Amino acid sequence: MSSFSVESSTGSGALEKIGMVLQDGAKSEISYEILEVLGYGTYGCIYLAKVRSTVSSSTEYRAIKCLSKNGLSKTQLLIQSQEIDIHLSLSSPKNGQHPNIVDMSSVIETKDSLYLVMEYCSGGDLFDAITSQHAAANDSGMGFVSMPGSQSLDVHSDRSVLQAMVQIISALAHSHAHQVFHRDLKPENILMAGDGTLKLADFGLATKDRISSDFGCGSSFYMAPEQQPQVLPGQRSRRPYVPAKSDVWALGIIFLNLRFGRNPWKVSRLDSDATFEAYAHDPRVLDGMFPELTAPALHFLHRVLCVDPSQRADCAEALELIRGLDAIVRRDAEEAMSDCESQTSNSRQLSNASSSIMSSDDEVQSHDGDADSMFHMEGDFYHASRNVPATATWSQLTASDKSWSKLADEDDDDMDFSSPVDFSTAAVSASSSSFSDDSSSLMAQAGFVKLSDLFKSPPRLHSNMVMA
């Protein structure tokens, strides 16, 4: 599927490639005209291109990822080649093209660049959908209550979120079945087609290795504990992890992203996140963080967010569990939230009206006491964490007895779901005993430490050594 082509225009800058026409050497009747820049990535730029065909008059578009070959080390060139081979293997008709994985149809190689021709997903990425819809809900005071609308994805609808999760897990299960492990699963790497179908994308950090020592590979907010760039006290050598299990961990974080617009913690590291540390000691902490969740939804989360990777669900179990869910949010919790939001809306109106009523001596007349109390309740409800110090302990954070999904961080950066982390030689290994069936040999190779070893004195991070 690879072909060699000569670019019809010159220039190394991303914008300078606009207007370029690329000939698909494997299909002489097809060429691609680059129209505009869709986005930028760590290793390249993504363009929107129009398909030009000598045999068809239909208008079609493709997304083309441009990877520069200039100035790259042999290791970086190998990573590029691996990404292409892995993605093409999932797009091969022989392996069964999956409807929830972005299809790569061709690779065009020039002297200086590689152009990966993929299907165009006009709906953007899942991160934008999550942040925009939850922000709109907060502005309207709807909270997590289901909202009416004709959107293909409604993050406030249990049914819509469950359908989305089925698509994501199905794509991941298909990848795992062909021994492809993503290692950077996050909303930014899940695209939306024009019809609303979700598509798993960006296999730049994927691997076919069933065990891996690439610690810190991925995005920090979604990394499993055993994948984090961190070391245990006194640990001299690194112990590999199982990428299939670390992919499953990310599913739990995405699930909470979708329905509540938040992460349960910043990062799954004991030395730097008090919330995760509390959860690692007692998983029931999650129940108190999201009391709105139904029992089956909590069970799903406990299975995919199991700190011990040897006990964590695999993709098949995760898919079975998510398909068995009828609801995410308890009906009584949703009704209570709806009543609260209704009171909040009324209190806002009363407060606004009262503030405009002035007495003759320019003093504000007091308004209804009940409305005043509701107004302050609303303020406390949405801004409880404004009085919580940045170094608050777990007991301080939970002392307000309010739903964790409604506690906003002081700097409002909780919506910034992911932060890329470079390859590092420093990381922590999570615990494990043994996988069942054929996975037991993997855990034996990985040699994970016991869970109790994770709760020693906080480890010190080593300096990161970024792969060239």
Fill in the amino acid letter for 33. E
Fill in the amino acid letter for 46. I
Say whether pTM exceeds 0.75: no
pLDDT of residue 72: 86
Which of 163-177, 327-341, 368-382, 449-463 is least confident? Answer: 368-382
Is the CATH number 3.40.50.2020 carried by domain 126-328+416-455? no
Q: Is residue 111 part of an annotated ligand binding site?
A: no
- Coil, helix or strand for 281? helix
More confident residue, 357 or 28: 28
pLDDT of residue 239: 84
Judge whether 2-119 and 126-328+416-455 match in fold. no
Tokens of 225: 């504990």
pLDDT of residue 459: 35
Provide, rounded to the nearest whole percent, the portion of the chain with pLDDT above 90: 49
Tokens of 352: 């606004």
Cβ atoms 319, 166 nearer than 8 A: yes
Tokens of 257: 């992203």
Render pLDDT for 73-109 as a digit per residue (tens, 0 to 9): 888 888 889 989 999 999 877 777 899 999 999 999 9
Q: What is the mean pLDDT of the chain?
A: 74
pLDDT of residue 75: 86
Residues involved in catalysis: 184
Domain limits, the chain: 2-119, 126-328+416-455, 337-387
Render pLDDT for 295-317 as a digit per residue (tens, 0 to 9): 999 999 999 999 999 999 999 99
Cβ atoms 152, 215 nearer than 8 A: no
pLDDT band at residue 42 using 50, 70 and 90 as cut-offs: low
Fill in the amino acid letter for 396. Q
State which CATH number among 1.10.580.10, 3.40.50.300, 3.30.200.20, 2.60.40.1080 fits the domain covering 2-119. Answer: 3.30.200.20
**Dist. CA 379–CA 355, nearest whole Å:** 16
**Dist. CA 51–CA 58, nearest whole Å:** 9
